[in-house]
Structure 1
Amino acid sequence: MYKIGLVGLKTSLEQILDSAEEYKYELEFISLPYVKTEEVDSIVKEHNTHVHAWLFSGPLPYEIAKKTLGTDKIMVHVPATESGFYKSFLEMIYEKGKIIEQLSIDTMSLNNISEEALSQLNIKIPKIYTKVFELDVDTNELLQFHLDLWNKGKTEGAITCFPSVCHALRENGIPAYRMSMSKMEIRQTLRILSEKVKASYFKDTQIGVEIIEVEFFSRVAEEMKTPYHLQYLELRLKEMLIQLGEKINGSFSEKGNGRYMIFSSRGAIEREIITLEDTVQKLAFEADTTVAVGIGFGETAYSAEINAFRAIQHSKEMKNREIVIVQDDGKIVESPGTKKELQYAGRTHDKFLIEKLKKGNISVKAYKKISALVHRLGWREFTTKDLATQLEMTERNVRRIVTDMCIVDLAQCVGEEAQATRGRPSKIYRLL
């Protein structure tokens, strides 16, 4: 059974659990309530290793957790939609006994739905004073925002995202309502969570193959003083790899000339990437040579093995022999589990893009890798030197690719960068 970390205010968690009864045989919900949003950071850090997925009661704790963890675990939240706003607005109209003409609202910058919700109503749109808040929100500041407008006679009520702010406003005699989630939104989110968990399960049980190659093994063998030294070395290498195989519950086999293969499940391999990295470092030190690693995932052993061969070939083309994964959908992952991790598609079905790449004599992999890198680093503009450094390629080769991309309108030269020393200025590019 999958364990789901359920994070939110206590009242919100109770609402979610009331609707989660039908999932009790497939999902185990672990309630992790907070009083203040500042607690979300420590909650997710403490419990991240104990749960398979996360469910948050709203976008605010979700965004905080996403920023804190940077995890690839399943993370979903109950969205703030128009229905939550309509509910609060109608309750306020009922309490006041008239259409509200002036209103103060606080809303998250990433999810401002109040104005859009009102624009869909065929009524006179009230005058709205909006306070937008970020992840580091100060609820006292929000409370003061609503109070100031009320005291100046500019509003007839307030809608807030926070129960504490709502309670404090009501204590001051202000008609205040909290934007809350509806049962429909909760049920829809639970359905999405259930589907993602099931998809994750099937993905987790895919076949995974690790191909580990101690490079230049013939040279290493020649440098051994006696055949016994070589045999001792091979025993030490195999011991390390058998320990890795045991860790991922895999099947180990030796292919000869420094190449080894381990079959296991995708989930086990992904969970032990750090163990693999440590093993590779030890192998490289023991054999005093480079070690290339390719991992392939697939629905069958054959497809996983083919992807692993593609991955190790890719790894051997890289200067630092990073670990490379080729997934069942053709996606390539370089340096998985590290800060340098880069994911990009190794193929495309976009006919328009394929025609451009053919015309420019550019490989899909090269274009997708450059595009993924630029977006990951947040570069609006770049030079070929910037790219060459990150891609561990010669600037000449990168310049050729980028020039070809410009010819077929996949990139554009937007300026030049003056050099500190003598020489031609570097051209500045932007992806299109």
Structure 2
Amino acid sequence: MNLKIGVIGSEDTVEKILTVTKEFQDKAEFVPFKYTDKSETIELTQKSQENSDILIFSGQGPYTIALNAEVIKKPSVYIPRSGTSFYRTLWQMRDDNIDIKRISTDVLLAKEVVETMEELDIVLDKTYTYDFKYTFDFEYNELADFHYNLWKDEKIDAVVTGFTKIFLLLKEKGIPIYKLYPTKPLIREYINKAILLGRVKKVQDAQVAIQVIKIRNRGENFSSDYEFMMIKNKLESTFIQYTRDNFGALFPLGRDEYLIFTNRGSIENIYNILDFQSNTYMVGDSKVILSSGIGFGDTIYEAEINARIALRHSLRKDYDCTFLMDELGNVSGPFSSEDNMRLTYDMSSGKNEEIREISEKTSLSPVYISKLQALIVKINKNILDANVVSSYLGISTRSARRILNVLVKFGFGEVKYTESKAKTGRPRKIYEINI
């Protein structure tokens, strides 16, 4: 099955990229997502990930905007503009009899301009480059004025830009301006990188993942076997919910041990591990310690060996925690309920501004909002119903329906359609949630 690659960027640059993607049609399907204004980048990035395995951004600008907005959930690359791209533009300027020593640029760093000119044995008196401070949070008019004022003051003879809108704005004013496009060899190089990255990710996601869970006595004696069984039964219900959320299979081993079989793509997310720790911690008992190890491998045998090694690390701790060991022998951990408590505190303290604002506006718990975001990432779409949400959040369908309706009420979603599978009973609403 071929990879699906989303291509995000300005319309003209995406079109240039698509002329090269024809060479790779037997390896991947490329889906364009074009914008006319950089403000559309975040929405297009979110939309592109619904059916894409990997993303290619047309340049550093849209990539940085999406990265800073924390909306990139899939492996991604962007096509830079240094090197051959700049050489080609300088060649065009020379053909147009433009003094290439007197230019201003935006997407290129001053160091890149100077080094390129040095390789051409050209000495620059001064380099004029716009400083984005690595955020690309700028106004088009502000950037256009930067170039225009330099030209008006006769400090430059031409402008080199990476932005289509700047190109059009300054061209209307009669200023010699050149759009910096990626060259075909550069596009080809990054398409190959994207395909390789996508293939590696697919192989990793398909790896076997095994989690071994062990219930340990904290040192206190149980009044009877019934007391231990009651604690065990409470914990089992959380194991079942957690296993279902991660599309796995749960198997009890003896009196105090459990195995969960799933795949790496389902369980690797750190939020899943923290959810497991916090949920079991809440229903657990002070008389037991919950230790677990997660292992990845190409076979069940390798994954279980790694899970057992990770479990040994966990057993050395005197508190509930999880360790993780990958196929290369790298061990991560411990992940504990305290980590998740800190995460929840961070969100409610305003470190996650987006979640805090949604919570304040809707009066919904920031934990529920965070989990809904995780659910959308996990199922790779933002189309939900109350049954799916109730299952994932561990709440009643009625409560899930209330949460979804509140989000719609405050503008964070809409009811896409209503369906009824039976002539009687409440019709099922299908929601599109944007958080």
Structures share a fold, TM > 0.5? yes
Aligned to 2:260: 262
2:61 is equivalent to residue 66 of structure 1: no
Q: CA deviation at 1:34?
A: 2.0
Q: What pairs up with 1:413-428 in 2 under 5 angstroms?
A: none
Q: What pairs up with 1:261-340 in 2 under 5 angstroms?
A: 261-270=259-268, 274-275=271-272, 277-288=274-285, 289-318=288-317, 321-334=320-333
User: Which residue identity does 1:262 align to in structure 2?
Assistant: I
On the 8 A contact 2:218/2:289 being kept in 1, the answer is: no
Q: What pairs up with 1:199-238 in 2 under 5 angstroms?
A: 199-216=200-217, 222-224=222-224, 227=226, 230-231=228-229, 233-238=231-236
User: Which residue identity does 2:107 align to in structure 1?
Assistant: T
Aligned to 1:253: 251
Aligned to 2:41: 40
Aligned to 1:131: 130
Q: 1 CA distance for matches of 2:55 and 2:144?
A: 30
Compared with structure 1, are the counterparts of its residues 123 and 213 closer, same or farther at alpha carbon in structure 2 (3 Å cutoff)?
same
Aligned residue for 1:334, secondary structure, equals: strand
The number of residue pairs the alignment matches comes to 335
Q: 2 CA distance for matches of 1:315 and 1:49?
A: 36
Q: 2 CA distance for matches of 1:113 and 1:89?
A: 13
Aligned to 2:90: 89
Q: 2 CA distance for matches of 1:286 and 1:300?
A: 33
Q: Deviation string for 1:379-406 (max 9, x for gaps)?
A: xxxxxxxxxxxxxxxxxxxxxxxxxxxx
Q: 2 CA distance for matches of 1:149 and 1:276?
A: 54
Q: CA deviation at 1:171?
A: 1.9
Identity across matched positions, percent = 27
Q: Deviation string for 1:251-285 (max 9, x for gaps)?
A: 432222321111222222225x6455444444344
- After TM superposition, the structure 1 stretch with the greater mean CA deviation from structure 2, 140-149 or 281-290, is 281-290
Q: 1 CA distance for matches of 2:336 and 2:31?
A: 26
Q: Deviation string for 1:143-183 (max 9, x for gaps)?
A: 11222222222221111121222222222222110111111
User: Which residue identity does 2:189 align to in structure 1?
Assistant: Q
Aligned residue for 1:188, secondary structure, equals: helix
Aligned residue for 2:76, secondary structure, equals: strand
Q: CA deviation at 1:326?
A: 1.0
Q: 1 CA distance for matches of 2:118 and 2:59?
A: 23
Aligned to 2:412: none
Q: 2 CA distance for matches of 1:131 and 1:238?
A: 59
Q: What pairs up with 1:131-170 in 2 under 5 angstroms?
A: 131-134=130-133, 135-170=136-171
Q: Deviation string for 1:60-87 (max 9, x for gaps)?
A: 1112222222756311011212211122
Q: 2 CA distance for matches of 1:290 and 1:72?
A: 34
Aligned to 1:190: 191
Q: 2 CA distance for matches of 1:165 and 1:142?
A: 8
Compared with structure 1, are the counterparts of its residues 327 and 190 closer, same or farther at alpha carbon in structure 2 (3 Å cutoff)?
same
Q: 2 CA distance for matches of 1:113 and 1:257?
A: 65
Aligned residue for 1:65, secondary structure, equals: helix
Aligned to 2:119: 120
Aligned to 1:102: 102
Specify every segment of 5 or more residues in structure 1 that has no aligned partner in the other structure, as ranges: 342-432
Q: 1 CA distance for matches of 2:291 and 2:191?
A: 42
Aligned to 2:239: 241
- After TM superposition, the structure 1 stretch with the greater mean CA deviation from structure 2, 99-108 or 131-140, is 99-108
On the 8 A contact 2:274/2:337 being kept in 1, the answer is: no
Larger radius of gyration: 1
On the 8 A contact 1:284/1:290 being kept in 2, the answer is: no
Q: CA deviation at 1:57?
A: 0.2
Specify every segment of 5 or more residues in structure 2 that has no aligned partner in the other structure, as ranges: 341-435
Q: 2 CA distance for matches of 1:61 and 1:338?
A: 36
Q: 2 CA distance for matches of 1:215 and 1:59?
A: 51
Q: 1 CA distance for matches of 2:43 and 2:32?
A: 15
Q: What pairs up with 1:354-369 in 2 under 5 angstroms?
A: none
Aligned residue for 2:268, secondary structure, equals: helix
Aligned residue for 1:69, secondary structure, equals: coil
Q: CA deviation at 1:320?
A: 5.2
Aligned to 1:345: none
On the 8 A contact 1:44/1:69 being kept in 2, the answer is: no
On the 8 A contact 2:37/2:165 being kept in 1, the answer is: no
Compared with structure 1, are the counterparts of its residues 157 and 336 closer, same or farther at alpha carbon in structure 2 (3 Å cutoff)?
farther
User: Which residue identity does 1:147 align to in structure 2?
Assistant: Y
User: Which residue identity does 1:331 align to in structure 2?
Assistant: N
On the 8 A contact 2:216/2:290 being kept in 1, the answer is: yes
Compared with structure 1, are the counterparts of its residues 219 and 319 closer, same or farther at alpha carbon in structure 2 (3 Å cutoff)?
closer
Aligned to 1:352: none
Aligned to 1:411: none
Aligned residue for 2:204, secondary structure, equals: helix
Compared with structure 1, are the counterparts of its residues 207 and 4 closer, same or farther at alpha carbon in structure 2 (3 Å cutoff)?
same
